[in-house]
Amino acid sequence: MLPRVPAFDIFSGRFGERDTVWLGAVEGLAAARDRMLQFAAKQAGAYFVFSSDSQLIVAAVDTSRLMHASESAKAKGAA
């Protein structure tokens, strides 16, 4: 029997907040982290990967500040 590859859930928002949204599940931590970063690159915000096996957040990223800083720099350059 082959070993089971654990699935990880990807969420947008911050853990424990009401606006957290489940985006999907991916097999393997590396694949889940990559998918989370793809979401973060498309839409600024907070994202995290949750392991239902361990009940822990195993990866997280927040691109809100990065996108805000980028927009501020563009605005200054246009002035």
Q: pLDDT tens digits for 52-78?
A: 999 999 999 999 886 555 555 555 555
Q: Bigger pLDDT: 74 or 34? A: 34
Helix (H, G, I), strand (E, B) or coil at 70: helix
CA of 17: how far to CAs of 24, 46, 50, in Å? 18, 11, 14
CA of 52: how far to CAs of 10, 13, 35, 36, in Å? 11, 17, 17, 16
The pLDDT of residue 71 is: 53
